[in-house]
């Protein structure tokens, strides 16, 4: 396959065929985003795309999902996109679902009828970054649309019968507007009523304007407790018909999943339990361990940590069974930052994990074991 530049895809497309049809993002101005910085937005030539589809016909026969990369493949002109989808249908008949990122600009360029045509050719899910429903924050982060436009474009996707997954960003409004961000995001999500909502936590990336603001003391990064409070208020303010709300991205402190409104009470109770224990958690953010680890994010379910009272031996076993697989998964996901969450116990009493000890699940990679410094 011909991949140019960095390739990004939603976590739920981890096993999809990744077919790059554009380079970069046609907007490329969000102040927190470094995904395609320095990449000039271009459409890839048809011959390359055709040859990639041919490659997939031979080598991707067990993948029944396909994701169109890069940042907003929906922006590809209708005629060309129809040709691509028809070719996928013809050459990869086993592909059951095609997904794409979409932003308000690319959605606006398509009519509902055109999107229905894409749906009939297999495009069945679009991922849209809302980030926040707060208009002040949307302007501040240069998202290129206000909340009314977000609602209009989100509904347009749904009207075409394409499933919609909306991403929101915890911490993106800073401290002062955190609660406004939570409530307004709930308002906009309720108005769009998407099938899926994914909550991510803001991870500042060097080189972005928001990172520079943070360095100058103009933008605060919320701590775990503030982020969890924000998440709880957002969920309380969100009314979906039957949407799946999840916060299982590796950037989050707490893994949650449930349908709203059915599972709201259960989810909020989990958030409350995490908040009750979060002060006891020693948190350290690190980076630069090595190239692979520096590109990874580790997430630990704080609730499961808080609810257990570990002995030394139990702690070792818990690390082996829970921490290591999560860390490996994060490494495989190739995410942007190493976030090391330590433990309910005192860091000084942390058992030293042996990189050479093997387990029932096989030998471990020494690279993946790091002891948090006291
Ligand atoms: S629209 Fe998405 S990919 Fe493009 S700059 Fe904004 S966050 Fe990044």
Q: What percent of the chain has pLDDT over 90?
A: 61
Q: In this structure, is residue 102 part of a structural domain?
A: yes
Q: In this structure, is residue 52 part of a structural domain?
A: yes
- 256 Cα–ligand 1 center, Å: 25
Q: Same domain, yes or no, for 255 and 198? A: yes
Q: Same domain, yes or no, for 227 and 363? A: no
Which of 167-181, 265-279, 357-371 has the least mean pLDDT? 357-371
- Chosen domain end from 222, 248, 280: 280
pLDDT tens by residue, 153-166: 999 999 999 999 99
Q: Same domain, yes or no, for 299 and 274? A: no
User: Which residue's CA lies nearest to atom 5 of ligand 1?
Assistant: 28
- 22 Cα–ligand 1 center, Å: 14
| Range(s) of the domain holding residue 157 | 11-280
Angle 178-192/147-159 helices, nearest 10 degrees? Answer: 30
Instruction: Determine the pLDDT at residue 279.
Output: 38
Taking alpha carbons only, the member of 321, 325, 340, 323 closest to residue 282 is: 340
Q: Same domain, yes or no, for 27 and 111? A: yes
Kind plus residue range of the DSSP H or E element containing 130: strand 123-131
If DSSP states are collapsed to H, E and C, what string results for 13-42? HCCCEEEECEECCCCCCCCCCCCCCCCCCE
d(CA 335, CA 296): 5
Q: Same domain, yes or no, for 352 and 243? A: no
User: Which residue's CA lies nearest to atom 6 of ligand 1?
Assistant: 30
- Chosen domain end from 280, 305, 328: 280
Phi, psi values for residue 321, rounded to 5°:
-85, -30
d(CA 99, CA 203): 25
The structure's pTM equals: 0.76
pLDDT at position 303 over 60: no
User: Which residue's CA lies nearest to atom 3 of ligand 1?
Assistant: 71
Q: Same domain, yes or no, for 240 and 261? A: yes
* C-alpha pair distances (Å), 252 with each of 14, 64, 225, 248: 18, 28, 12, 7
Higher-scoring residue by pLDDT: 256, 28: 28
DSSP state letter for 320: I
Q: In this structure, is residue 168 part of a structural domain?
A: yes
Q: In this structure, is residue 56 part of a structural domain?
A: yes
DSSP state letter for 176: T
Instruction: Determine the pLDDT at residue 321.
Output: 61
Phi, psi values for residue 163, rounded to 5°:
-65, 145
Instruction: Determine the pLDDT at residue 278.
Output: 52
Atom of ligand 1 nearest to the CA of 32: 7
Q: In this structure, is residue 85 part of a structural domain?
A: yes
d(CA 53, CA 92): 8
Q: Same domain, yes or no, for 199 and 272? A: yes
pLDDT tens by residue, 191-247: 999 999 999 999 888 889 999 999 999 999 998 889 999 999 999 999 999 999 998
Q: In this structure, is residue 204 part of a structural domain?
A: yes
Q: Same domain, yes or no, for 98 and 195? A: yes
Taking alpha carbons only, the member of 134, 237, 247 closest to residue 181 is: 134
Determine the 3-state secondary structure of 201 from DSSP.
strand
Q: Same domain, yes or no, for 162 and 305? A: no
Helix %, strand %, coil % of the chain (to 5): 40, 15, 45
Q: Same domain, yes or no, for 99 and 222? A: yes
Q: In this structure, is residue 373 part of a structural domain?
A: no
d(CA 172, CA 289): 26
d(CA 60, CA 181): 42
Q: How many domains does the chain have?
A: 2
- 72 Cα–ligand 1 center, Å: 8
User: Which residue's CA lies nearest to atom 4 of ligand 1?
Assistant: 28
Atom of ligand 1 nearest to the CA of 103: 1
pLDDT tens by residue, 76-88: 999 999 999 999 9
pLDDT tens by residue, 309-318: 555 566 556 5
Q: Same domain, yes or no, for 325 and 232? A: no
- Here the tokens at position 294 are 């520096």
Pocket test of ligand 1: the residue of 32, 34, 35 to mutate, having most ligand atoms within 8 Å of its CB, is 35
- 139 Cα–ligand 1 center, Å: 14
Determine the 3-state secondary structure of 220 from DSSP.
coil
- Chosen domain end from 236, 255, 280: 280
d(CA 1, CA 92): 15
User: Looking at the DSSP assignment, which residues form a beta bridge with residue 123?
Assistant: 98
pLDDT at position 30 over 90: yes
CATH code of residue 151: 3.20.20.70
Ligand 1 environment, Cβ below 6 A: 25, 27-30, 33, 35-36, 71, 103, 129
Q: Same domain, yes or no, for 291 and 269? A: no
pLDDT tens by residue, 131-144: 999 999 999 999 99
């Amino acid at each position: 396959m011909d991949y140019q530049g960095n390739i990004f895809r939603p976590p739920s497309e981890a096993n999809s065929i990744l077919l790059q049809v554009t380079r970069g993002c046609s907007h490329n101005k969000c102040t927190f985003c470094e995904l395609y910085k320095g990449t000039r937005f271009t459409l890839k030539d048809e011959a390359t795309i055709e040859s990639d589809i041919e490659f997939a016909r031979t080598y991707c026969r067990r993948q029944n999902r396909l994701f169109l990369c890069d940042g907003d493949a929906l922006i590809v002109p209708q005629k060309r996109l129809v040709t691509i989808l028809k070719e996928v249908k013809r050459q990869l008949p086993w592909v059951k679902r095609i997904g794409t990122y979409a932003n308000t600009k690319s959605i606006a360029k398509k009519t509902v009828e055109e999107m229905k045509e894409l749906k009939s050719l297999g495009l069945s899910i679009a991922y849209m970054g809302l980030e926040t429903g707060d208009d002040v924050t949307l302007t501040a982060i240069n998202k290129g649309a206000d909340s009314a436009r977000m609602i209009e474009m989100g509904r347009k996707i749904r009207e075409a019968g394409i499933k919609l997954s909306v991403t929101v960003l915890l911490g993106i409004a800073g401290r002062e507007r955190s609660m406004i961000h939570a409530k307004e995001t709930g308002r906009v999500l309720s108005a769009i009523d998407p099938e899926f909502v994914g909550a991510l936590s803001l991870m500042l990336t060097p080189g972005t304007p928001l990172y520079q603001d943070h360095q100058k003391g103009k933008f605060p990064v919320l701590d775990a407790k503030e982020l969890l409070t924000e998440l709880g208020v957002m969920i309380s303010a969100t009314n979906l018909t039957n949407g799946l709300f999840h916060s299982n991205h590796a950037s989050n402190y707490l893994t949650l999943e449930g349908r709203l409104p059915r599972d709201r009470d259960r989810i909020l109770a989990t958030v409350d339990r995490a908040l009750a224990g979060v002060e006891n958690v020693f948190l350290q953010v690190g980076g630069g361990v090595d190239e692979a680890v520096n590109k990874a994010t580790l997430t630990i379910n704080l609730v499961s940590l808080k609810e257990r009272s570990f002995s030394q031996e139990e702690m070792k076993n818990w690390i082996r069974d829970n921490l290591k697989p999560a860390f490996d998964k994060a490494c495989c996901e190739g995410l942007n930052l190493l976030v090391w969450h330590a433990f309910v116990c005192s860091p000084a009493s942390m058992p030293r994990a042996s990189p050479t000890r093997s387990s029932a699940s096989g030998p471990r990679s020494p690279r993946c074991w790091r002891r948090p410094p006291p």
